[in-house]
Amino acid sequence: MNKIKIAVIGLGRLGSFHAINLQTRIFNAELVAVSEINETALANFTNKFPAVKGYKDYKEMLKDESIEAVVVASSTSTHATTVIDCIKANKKIFCEKPIAVSLEEAKEVQKIVDENDAYIQLGFMRRFDKPYVKAKAQILKGEMGKPVSLLAISRDPGCPPIEFAKHSGGLVNDMAIHDIDLCRWLMESEVKEVFAHGGVVKFKELGEIGDIDHVNISMIFENGKMALIEASRNSAYGYDIRTEVICENGAVAIGNIQDESTIYKIPNKTYINTIGGFLERFEEAYFNEINVFVENIINDIKPSVTAIDGLKAIQIADAINESLKTNKIVRL
C-alpha cells in the first residue's frame, strides 16, 4: 500500500511531537517535509531526520504536489491563513486547535472549506483519548440515562511561554476550548447561553498582554441541561484534567492527577507523582488522532471532528469572552 506523503508546519512543543510520531510510529504515513520559521528548530529536526526536507517558508513546501496532507501545528495566530493556503494548494489538513484566533477568521476558514469541499480534521484530541472515548461509549449505551450536567476542570501547571500566550487567543480560546468541545460532544446539545468570571490571580505577565490565568464558566444548553468549566494556569502541583458527566441514573468521571499507579509510602509522607503536562497526559491521544487522520484518508472516510466543530467552539469561546468583558449572560 502507498503511504500518505505528509508534511508538518510548525515544530514547536506539539508540532515536533506530531512530526516525530509521523516519522517513527505512524506506519501508513511518510513524513516528507517540515516547515518552521525558527531556523534553529528547523535545523535541529532535519539534522536528526535528514530524509525529511526542511522549508523556512511553508508556501514553498505547499508547491510540492506529491504532498497529500499537512499537519498545521504552528502558532494559533497563523492557523486561519495557513489552513486557507493549504486548501488552495489542494492538501488534506489536520489543524491543531483552535481553528483560528477570532470568530471572524474561523468563519472565513469555514467559508473556504465549504467552497472547496476541503478535507480537514481538527485537533480536539480528547475525543481520541481512551478514557474520554470510553466515557462517551458508556453515555451512548444509555444505561445511565441521558446526560443532565457536566463539570470540567482544566488546570495547567504554570504560565505558558509568553511568546506562545501572545499568539494563543487567550485562556478561553487556547485552553477552555477543549472543555467547550467536550460539552458539545458529551452533552449532545448545543450551548444556548454562557456566563463567565475570570481574571489574573497569579501570573501578572499574562495580565500585561491582556490575557487571564483563571476562568469559571457556566453554560446552559438548548435542551436545558447545564455545565460548569474551570480553566486555569495555576495548578503548581501538576497538570490536572478532569471531567464528570452526571446522567439521569448515574455519572461518569474521567481523569485523575496521578501519573502512575505507584504510591510512595514514607513515614509521615505518603505521595504519588502528578502528571507534568499535556504531552504526558495526552501522549496516546495525540498519536491516535493523527493515526486516525492518516487511516481515514487511506480509506476515504470523512473526518469525525471537523472545521464546523472548530467554528462552533470558537463561537462559544467568543460568547464567553464577551461575558468576561460585560459581566453579563451572553446568548448564542
Ligand X SMILES: NC(=O)c1ccc[n+]([C@@H]2O[C@H](COP(=O)([O-])OP(=O)(O)OC[C@H]3O[C@@H](n4cnc5c(N)ncnc54)[C@H](O)[C@@H]3O)[C@@H](O)[C@H]2O)c1
- Point out which residues bind ligand X (CB under 6 A): 9-15, 35-38, 41, 58, 73-76, 78, 96-97, 123, 125, 164, 168, 174, 278, 282
Q: How far is the CB of 80 from ligand X (least distance, A)?
A: 11
Q: How far is the CB of 128 from ligand X (least distance, A)?
A: 10
User: Measuring CA to CA, which residue among 168, 171, 226, 154 is closest to residue 194?
Assistant: 226
Contact 314, 79 (CB under 8 A): no
9 vs 330 by CB, closer to ligand X = 9
Q: Are strands 147-155 and 240-247 parallel, antiparallel or unpaired?
A: antiparallel
279 vs 301 by CB, closer to ligand X = 279
Q: How far is the CB of 1 from ligand X (least distance, A)?
A: 28
Q: How far is the CB of 319 from ligand X (least distance, A)?
A: 20
SS3 assignment for 209-241: CCCCCEEEEEEEECCCCEEEEEEECCCCCCCEE
Q: Are strands 264-266 and 269-271 parallel, antiparallel or unpaired?
A: antiparallel
146 vs 242 by CB, closer to ligand X = 242
174 vs 309 by CB, closer to ligand X = 174
Sheet holding 214-221, edge to edge: 250-254, 240-247, 147-155, 226-232, 214-221, 191-199, 330-331
Q: How far is the CB of 330 from ligand X (least distance, A)?
A: 23
Cell of 283: 501522549
The residue number whose beta carbon is nearest to ligand X equals 12
46 vs 168 by CB, closer to ligand X = 168
